[in-house]
Amino acid sequence: MRECGILLPVASLPSPYGIGAFSKEAYEWADALKRAGQGYWQVLPFGPTGYGDSPYQSFSAFAGNPYFIDLEQLIAEGLLTKEECDQADFGPSRRYISYDRIYYERFPLLRKAYERWKRNMAGDEGEENGKAEYTDRIQAAVHRLSEERLIRETREYCFYMALKDHFQSKSWYLWESDIRLRKPEAMESYRRLLSDDIGFYEFQQIKFEEQWQALKAYANEKGIRIIGDIPIYVAFDGADSWCHPELFQFDEENLPKAVAGCPPDAFAATGQLWGNPLYDWGYHRETGYEWWIRRMEYSLRMYDVVRVDHFRGFESYYSIPYGDPTAEFGHWEKGPGISLFEALERHFGAELPVIAEDLGFLTQEVRTLLKASGYPGMKVLEFAFDDTEASGYLPHNYSENCVVYTGTHDNDTLAGWFDSLSEKDQSFAREYAGSLCVPQKELPWQFIRLALASPARLAVIPVQDYLGLGTEARINEPSTLGKNWKWRLLPGEVNEELLEKCRRMAKIYGRLPVLQRPSGRRSCRGCLRSL
């Protein structure tokens, strides 16, 4: 079955409150995807973000970004007023997110909502407000609800964030040693001290999950499946590494022995120093990959299909001594290989809906691992056109078992990419696409056609490419800070004419979703596994 979808992070949706959210605009986007003949919406990771605003450096692998909570729904529930939300300053631009304004304005609003939510839980007992026993009773009720609604790891994140606030946003390795090392008496003391602050974060996650599950159900009813990401690594400044140091290559002080990155190459003379803690794969193997199974369970509640980031790191990973200023002196270590994916399939079954991000320099060992897993890999058109004219990313070289992208969140837009090519590569790209005489502003559609016409069973196109936007609409430029993850759609920018054109392209190239075809055949969640 051939299908197609559109890549658009939730943060990039329009909304009146500074950042895309699970708001009416998201529901309208699901409707638009259906009218456009799409079967998938790729949203990227959902984790709460910190410094740098990257969803690939999250405070937890088991929590959602509170920025996505729809304020208008909180208004409808009586937890906020429209006046309170309208008075907040979320920044001057509808096109670009102002994360500093979002941070300083959104959390006070969510705190107000939390206080009213607690009073609603109190009911007739609210007149006792201010009494210690009342406060204790309400906080206990909040924590009980959290235990009912949230998994253990999500609640651990809530405790972590309350502690992080208490220590003026410092990373956990700078906290006082008793709590940094999770000594039982310190853990209990801080749980009591920060009970209400923990409840505030529990409230955020409860609302995040309520709203997302409603939106996801709506999209699924429309025949739209959600693709989300699992970044291979977690952040050092995060709940996962603080709560479970046994999962990582840490010393007796719970500091990393080594960290992740990439070796020097033509693009980075000193390599890339990511700084993420590395997994103790021996421990994971001994525990039957229990943590990874839990992570996949959580991800499959959030998404219908999971794109596993940096797949090659499961075969071999680059290990850099902790404290090194560059990635120059790292070395390669063997990862878990096929044993991890065999454990996942024993637990979830053979129809695990996974896409493997197998981009970058691939060894034969990585190719063998990908083939053994059975997962579809990725092809990116922007990687295809160089002066060798023999790239494996050229569409005629694809197999069916892959997902083709014109570009990913880490690439420039098609228009921006084409502008950056040498004259020789531009000429070859035009020749390959049969577009020697096509005006440059129309070229993105020529490459979109190449993706849709390719043998790949799934084609995913960033919305910027359908709009023909340039570099100003790029989502992320790796190894840079300050300009990423900010771009947003404007209201009405995706119009009915564009949606009809998308649908026509999907039909021409045999990619209309099964649910939208006259035959009445239904698709299954695991159909991607057969790619």
Kindly list the catalytic residues. Answer: 309, 357, 410
Residue 66: which of 152, 158, 191, 197 has the closest Cα?
158
Residue 219: which of 302, 295, 115, 294 has the closest Cα?
302
Residue 348: which of 316, 376, 385, 306 has the closest Cα?
306
Residue 307 is encoded by which pair of tokens? 């794109």
Distance linking the first and last C-alpha atoms of the chain:
8
List, in sequence order, every residue forming a beta bridge with 258; answer none if it has no partner: 321
Helix residue ranges, H only, 194-308: 195-221, 239-243, 281-286, 290-302
Residue 396 CA to residue 15 CA, distance in Å, equals 40
Q: How does DSSP assign 412-434, residue by residue? A: PPHHHHHHHS-HHHHHHHHHHHT
Angstrom CA distances, 349 to 312, 342, 344, 421, stand at 23, 10, 8, 44
Residue 63: which of 146, 121, 4, 136 has the closest Cα?
146
For 464, residues 6+ apart whose C-beta sits below 8 A from its C-beta are 413, 414, 473, 474, 475, 487
Residue 457 CA to residue 480 CA, distance in Å, equals 33
Q: For residue 199, count CB atoms less than 10 angstroms from its CB and return exposed for 0-12, middle for 13-18, buried for 19 or more.
A: buried
Helix (H) or strand (E) holding 190: helix 184-193
